[in-house]
Structure 1
Amino acid sequence: MGGDDLDLNAAEKILQPRRRPAQQRSRAKYSRILAAARSVLVDMGFESFTFDEVAKRAEVPIGTLYQFFANKYVLICELDREDTADTVAELQRFADQVPALQWPDILDELIDHLADMWRADPSRRAVWHAVQSTPATRATAAATEQPVLALLAEVLRPLAPNASRNERLTIAGLLVHTMVSLLNYSVHDEHMTDHMFHATVDEIKRMLIAYLFAVATS
């Protein structure tokens, strides 16, 4: 079994890099590796994803990748952390505007922004699919998304004042997974026109805003 294969005995462990760089030069190399990994994932798919190709595109020795990542599953989970950090930043901007009487308009803007991110960067969809591939990557993705759920649960507090935190976390999880699945659907066809894409996003908004109205009035 090669170095890119998952240790099944560690299937329930959270996958973390062996180390993250501290110095500027190493951070630049690390960023180059992550960017190269995204391009390989988009071009070749997860099944054909190899450290050899990532190292080639990043223009680093393959040993450099192993200094940071034990295998490709750990690397994919690091890409997922990058994507989640972007989502957290956008949700925080959203959270800063809630509570507000115009919260459906704010949610409308949030979904537009996330949809544009999803369409502009095909690697987000590729990473999302890749982290579904094993128990360990799924467990790691679930741990990675916890700040998103916690932030969204706080956003929901004024909309669901009678709900407990656990109930709001459940609602947040449903929202996040529904939104991501539907955004994935909205870009599943590379030949989709702008009109078709925006029409699909409009339907996503309709569904999620209707759900939140139901939460707010229950």
Structure 2
Amino acid sequence: MEISASTPRRPQQKRSRERVERILAAAKELIARGGSDAMKMGELAEKAEVPIGSLYQFFPDKGSVVRTLAERYNEEGRACIREAIEPVRSEATFSEAFRGLIDTYYGLFLAEPVMRDIWSGTQADKALQDVDLADARENGAIVAAALRHIHPQADPEELFNRAMLVMYLGTSTMRLAISVGRKQGDAMVETYKRMALGELLKAD
């Protein structure tokens, strides 16, 4: 899957925003049905019931549609991370919150075929790699902030690097887990949780 670096236009008027939402909803349906590689802009315009010119007005190419969906999934994931991790003030509550968060995240990957399709091509596409990296940085910052409450004497840069790496590997773990059988995938996620918590909560 090749994603263009073209930037989608942000709509200002209510009618335009509603049209963009229709386009994205239609894109999700088409991707769920046949994958993002098979989705065509003309097919998308027809599905969203918008003129093809309007589609290109908001999304210069298919890649910008896919990237917008990816960024939205990242925003949803970040909201879950904030809700679970930001209130944490002890190792015990961090461990419980982190385990619950990973279970929720894994459930999203299992339930959402569009999410799986988008991220299956991340490693082969520079634009999606950049989105993925930015997401790991933001998620890492959230987790590192919570860890500073637990280990206030720790080096903040070290905590951030540790947290960013763990969160980046978490997404990679989800992609691998949904690519194998469910039993093996579940076991991989459990292994990741143990490894991640061991690294995040170590005192040095």
Q: TM-score, normalised on structure 2? A: 0.84
Tell me what 2:73 maps to.
83
User: Structure 2 vs 1, CA of residues 115 and 158 (structure 1 numbering), >3 Å: closer, same or farther?
Assistant: same
Tell me what 1:188 maps to.
179
Q: CA deviation at 1:24?
A: 2.9
Please give the alpha-carbon distance, in whole angstroms, between the structure 2 residues aligned to 1:86 and 1:204. Answer: 21
Match of 2:190 among 175, 199, 202: 202
The Cα RMSD (Å) is 2.5
Tell me what 1:152 maps to.
143
Please give the alpha-carbon distance, in whole angstroms, between the structure 2 residues aligned to 1:208 and 1:94. Answer: 16
Match of 2:106 among 107, 111, 115: 115
Residue identity in the other structure for 2:95: P
Q: CA deviation at 1:111?
A: 0.9
User: Structure 2 vs 1, CA of residues 167 and 183 (structure 1 numbering), >3 Å: closer, same or farther?
Assistant: same
1:153–1:169 Cα contact (<8 Å) kept? yes
Larger displacement relative to structure 2 (44-53 or 104-113): 44-53
Identity %: 29
Match of 1:31 among 21, 31, 39: 21
Q: CA deviation at 1:22?
A: 2.6
2:73–2:115 Cα contact (<8 Å) kept? yes
Q: TM-score, normalised on structure 1? A: 0.79
Q: CA deviation at 1:196?
A: 5.1
Please give the alpha-carbon distance, in whole angstroms, between the structure 2 residues aligned to 1:178 and 1:159. Answer: 22
Q: When you count helix as a share of all residues, which structure comes out higher?
A: 2
Q: CA deviation at 1:144?
A: 4.7
Please give the alpha-carbon distance, in whole angstroms, between the structure 2 residues aligned to 1:68 and 1:162. Answer: 48
Tell me what 1:102 maps to.
93
Does residue 92 (structure 1) correspond to residue 86 (structure 2)? The answer is no
Runs of 4+ in 1 over 6 A off after TM superposition: none
Gaps of 5+ in 2: none
Residue identity in the other structure for 1:112: D
1:94–1:106 Cα contact (<8 Å) kept? yes
Tell me what 2:31 maps to.
41
Tell me what 1:165 maps to.
156
Does residue 179 (structure 1) correspond to residue 170 (structure 2)? The answer is yes
Q: CA deviation at 1:145?
A: 4.4
Secondary structure, aligned partner of 1:155: helix
User: Structure 2 vs 1, CA of residues 166 and 54 (structure 1 numbering), >3 Å: closer, same or farther?
Assistant: farther
2:36–2:66 Cα contact (<8 Å) kept? no
